[in-house]
Amino acid sequence: MEYRLLGHSGLKVSVLSLGTMTFGGQGKFAKTGQTDVGAARRQIGLCLDAGINLFDTADVYSGGESEVILGKALGSKRHDVLVASKARFPMGEGPNDRGSSRHHILRACEASLKRLNTDYLDLYQLHEWDGLTPLEETLRALDDLVSSGKVRYVGVSNFSAWHIMKTLGVAQTNHYIRPVSQQIHYTLQAREAEYELLPVAQDQGLGVLVWSPLAGGLLSGKYRRNQAAPEGTRHLADWGEPPVRDESALYDVVDVLVDIAEARGVSAAQIALAWLIARPQVTSVIVGARNDAQLQDNLLAANLTLNNEEIERLNKVSQLPLLYPYWHQAQTAPDRLSSADLSLIAPYLKK
């Protein structure tokens, strides 16, 4: 297992980490999985044996049950690993039971610590942007959590690039704790993060944690062109996260994934994960699984290295159109682009 620094910090995390949205299986999260404590212990054991050191959860997953199960399953191993959680989404019916206000963040952190049966979080992340709460208020609350020893590092998730830059600017101006990472959705099926989120991560020294790296199973190889979806799985018409805007383009990607996987004698899921691990801005890819077999398959991706030809095939079939102002920059300013600019634009420049 390879370990990478989490952004501009001294903390090293494994290139694969375990996401625990499947833990609990309550309410709307039942469709993602129903992993109980016993199954969670087995999955955590598999991860530890593979070298994974980061376990990611959130208070909203199954109404807090994911945190409870993770805490019980880790047990005495808690201090040997890194635990990340998040807050922002509703945890009650009251008007202040959501958002990134000081009131909610402090209460949410205390509740997460209790559910996880731990006295600190290694990484505490804002789960989504809150456009109503002043960033000074949010960052001061996070700063206090770090000063009190309840949180070691902070991060953000599902922010836009301007949200991130505003957050970093407010943190620097007020000498508050600076986020070290962003958690984002990024796959061969959805490469929008390359427009702004990955360049800002490279430019500002942010770690990148990738959630739902198989696009909710779309890139697992189970869904094929002109074939019925496997029994018990969703249909593309029901897919909301991530949205499938071009079904034909999705299947073009899957065709290449399956072709490379069959030639390698591995699963399409492993190829999709290996492509992400090889992306230069990505720090860790968060995998989750309904069962042990899926997890064991995903874990093998940590030791899978794609060759240049395979990467180029995947890049080409999934490449995004170059939007404005990027096509204009590519045409008029190729001699004055930074490495962060080129992380997006370089493949489009005429050789």
The catalytic site residues sit at: 61
Q: Identify which of 209, 279, 294, 261 has the alpha carbon closest to the alpha carbon of residue 16.
A: 209
CA distance linking residue 289 with residue 217, whole number of Å: 10
Q: Which residue has the tokens 């590092």?
A: 153
Task: Name all contacts of 244-251 with Cβ < 8 Å and 24+ positions apart.
Answer: 244/189, 244/218, 250/189, 250/218, 250/223, 251/223, 251/224, 251/225
Residue 196 and residue 286 in contact, taking contact as beta carbons nearer than 8 Å: no
Sign of CA dihedral 267, 272, 277, 278: positive
Query: How far is Cα of residue 139 from the mean position of the Cα atoms in its chain?
Result: 21
217 close to 250: Cβ distance less than 8 angstroms: no
